[in-house]
Amino acid sequence: MNTSCIVLNGDFSYLCTVSWKRAINLVLAEKVKVLKYSNHVINCVEKAFKAPAVVALIKIVRMVYRHKVPYSKKNVLARDQQKCAYCGAKSKTLTIDHVIPRSRGGKTDFDNCVACCKKCNDLKAARTPREASMILLKRPFQPTISEFMRLKLKSSGVYQCLAEFGLY
């Protein structure tokens, strides 16, 4: 049973997920309005009611959306959706490839690092994609928190729920 609740910002962008208890507290405090109820029925002393599934803040909270996601291997793999940037293979044992090799001054950051399967990494070695005749399926980029959230949502299935509201 899904007992968590999606909290949207006042502009309907995704903010976070909270427990249904926290969501009800937010409703009672008149901080949020309920957009969708879940099928999870809560039995109280006085009556039974449905837990909120999606709520939106009444006020818009300006926050960290435009901030950059910090660099880490885990975050590069999440950005690239656990797929090799050269062959597109999905793998649990992906490594990080420096598009411009470190030996040539390539930096360890989101703009120069991609998820890469072992096979492609061995093939590319300390060369640029051009030298190795390999094609990057997608240019690496520095994600912001909001882009990252979107990617995470897509993989978590919450995305579909939000798409129902025309939010993404």
Kindly list the residues in this chain that would bind Zn ion in the complex (CB under 5 A): 84, 86-87, 89, 117, 120
Q: What's phi and psi for 2, nearest 5 deg? A: -85, 110
Shorter beta-carbon distance to Zn ion: residue 87 or 145: 87
List the end-to-end C-alpha distance of the chain, in Å, as a whole number.
24
Shorter beta-carbon distance to Zn ion: residue 51 or 120: 120
User: What's the closest the beta carbon of residue 44 comes to Zn ion, in angstroms?
Assistant: 54
User: Which stretches does DSSP call E strand in the chain?
Assistant: 4-8, 14-19, 32-43, 48-57, 95-98, 113-116
Shorter beta-carbon distance to Zn ion: residue 7 or 117: 117
User: What's the closest the beta carbon of residue 89 comes to Zn ion, in angstroms?
Assistant: 5
Instruction: Enter the tokens of residue 149.
Output: 């959230």
User: What's the closest the beta carbon of residue 120 comes to Zn ion, in angstroms?
Assistant: 3
User: What's the closest the beta carbon of residue 124 comes to Zn ion, in angstroms?
Assistant: 9
Shorter beta-carbon distance to Zn ion: residue 66 or 119: 119
Nearest Cα to 38, choosing from 70, 63, 64, 5?
Answer: 5
